[in-house]
Amino acid sequence: MHLRLSLAAAAALTVAAGSAQALDYTGYFRAGPGLTDNDASRACYGLNGGSAGMKYRLGNECDFYGEFQLSQGFQKDGIDSRVTLMVNHWTGATDTNGEGIKIEQMFAEAKGFDIAPEATFWIGKERGRRGDVHIVDTFFVEMAGVGAGAKGFSVGPGKLGVAFYRTDSDAVHPGNRFNAEWVDIAANAGGKLNFFATLTRGDFDGGESGAGLTVRHDQENLFGTGLNNTVFLQYAQGSAGLNANFGDLTAGSDAKGWRIVETVNGQRGALGGQAMLLLASQTDGAGVRTTSASVGGRVSYAFTRNFKLVTEAGYSQYKPEGGATAKLAKFTLAPTLATGPEFWSRPEFRLYVTTAKWNAPAGNVTGQPAYDGETSGTSYGAQVEWWF
């Protein structure tokens, strides 16, 4: 019922004044059944500590997830404006209702005001600037939340944006965040630099401040190979998160961390893929330092226009100071039907088999009681992944 009402409200935008542009509809979802060799609920394999971004997702997603967006543009007196609504749904198992329908984005934006014609002004709940590595389903930059801001100001060789965000869903621990971005700076042939700064403050007794900085370099045609490359260099301290979002708003200056992420992707004939290398260190408020590392990749080879064989392998580990190293290795083989031979062609209809091995310090990496004390597992299933 909530989904029907939300979609109906957004669709009503199409009957607005004659100055309205076409209604845009986009979305994403993944779903499918799975089972394991341990006569247990379907299992997926990921370390329960260390840095974000160390779980390789092919044949290793036990949840169902979908997001569906409607966006309507308008033009009046030289102003281009747009309103956007996105709803999403998540469930962690095959037959449960999960978290229901939620509002992921709901905001308005406009461009063309005479005081700054090149800038876009926005207010609402939005996901803003993001930077992800697809094969680990992680946004290493995610300037998202409820806020207001403006972006697209021409400053030197790049574009400047600023935004203020407020979080008060936890009434006991509300907080404020300021983000600034300076992006699309031509650095070399085919390469661009992007800077993302973060300031945070817990707005309550015991709330702490924090700061973070991310430098991202995007490179096309790396060394003439035709590959695309992205490097993230990240540092955060206090209550700021490494991903340019809120961290722990009670964390003081003793909490700090850094992360380096290198990712490359490309297509050469029938062969396509993406790979990632991650190194990270995080020190919590008690002074305990945890180091993390991960390396892995996904490769697809198209035997025909619509049939690909996709494989993915990944190795991750983390080590808390004074503790043992937790390790996990995972491999997936997935015969796949797709609308085209390219790595990024979607939808993909996959059959998969995934096998994983881990050590005792990693604990139960599945969260399923049937795997208590185990150090290996194999899963089978089918999945559709589609963005449109």
Cα separation, 252 vs 210, in Å, equals 8
DSSP H helices, 302-384, are none
Cα separation, 246 vs 127, in Å, equals 13
**Is position 260 within any domain?**
yes
**Is position 135 within any domain?**
yes
**Is position 305 within any domain?**
yes
Residue pair 365/376 in contact by the 8 Å Cβ criterion:
no
pLDDT tens string 124-177? 999 988 899 999 999 999 999 999 999 999 999 999 999 999 999 888 899 999
Residue pair 84/107 in contact by the 8 Å Cβ criterion:
yes
Q: Which residue range forms the structural domain that includes residue 114?
A: 43-387
Check pLDDT > 60 for residue 15: no
pLDDT tens string 331-355? 999 999 999 999 999 999 999 999 9
Q: What are phi and psi of 242, to 5 degrees?
A: -65, -25
**Is position 7 within any domain?**
no
From residue 26, how far is each of 23, 102, 290, 380 by CA, in Å?
A: 10, 16, 39, 30
pLDDT tens string 68-90? 999 999 999 999 999 999 999 99
Total number of domains in the chain: 1
**Is position 21 within any domain?**
no
**Is position 121 within any domain?**
yes
Cα separation, 52 vs 243, in Å, equals 10
Residue owning tokens 């309550």: 204
**Is position 25 within any domain?**
no
pLDDT-based confidence at 21, cuts 50/70/90?
low
* Domain CATH number, residue 146: 2.40.170.10
User: For residue 243, what are its two tokens?
Assistant: 């991903």
**Sequence-ordered list of residues with C-beta below 8 angstroms from that of 8, at least 6 positions apart, any chain:** none
pLDDT tens string 24-49? 999 999 999 999 988 877 899 999 99
pTM, two decimals, is: 0.92
pLDDT tens string 202-220? 999 999 999 999 999 999 9
Cα separation, 372 vs 382, in Å, equals 25
Check pLDDT > 60 for residue 14: no
**Is position 56 within any domain?**
yes
